[in-house]
Structure 1
Amino acid sequence: MNSPNLPLELTQVLQVDWSDRWSVYYRLQELEILCHCSAYKPLQVKLYSATSLIQVWSVIKQHSASREELIDWLNDCWHDRTT
Structure 2
Amino acid sequence: MPAIAISRGDRWQVYHRLRDLDIPAYCFPDGMLRADVSTPLAALQVRSVIYQITASRKDLVELLDRCWRVKG
Whose helix fraction is larger, Structure 1's or Structure 2's? Answer: 2
Q: 1:16 to 1:34 in 2, by over 3 A?
A: same
Spell out, residue by residue over 1:2-47, the C-alpha distance to the aligned partner (whole angstroms, 9 max, x if none).
Answer: xxxxxxxxx6544322220111100000000011112223101110
RMSD (CA atoms)? 1.4
Instruction: Pick one of 47, 61, 67 that aligns with 2:37.
Output: 47
Partner of 2:49: 59
TM superposition score normalised by structure 2: 0.88
The alignment covers a number of residue pairs equal to 72
Larger Rg: 1
- Runs of 4+ off more than 4 Å: none
Does 2:14 correspond to 1:27? Answer: no
Structure-1-length-normalised TM-score: 0.77
Which amino acid in the other structure matches residue 56 of structure 1?
A: V
Does the 8 Å contact 1:12/1:45 carry over to 2? no
Looking at secondary structure, tell me which structure has more strand per residue: 1
Gaps of 5+ in 2: none
2:42 partner amino acid: S
Instruction: Name stretches of at least 5 consecutive residues in structure 1 with no aligned partner.
Output: 1-10
1:37 to 23, 27, 33: 27
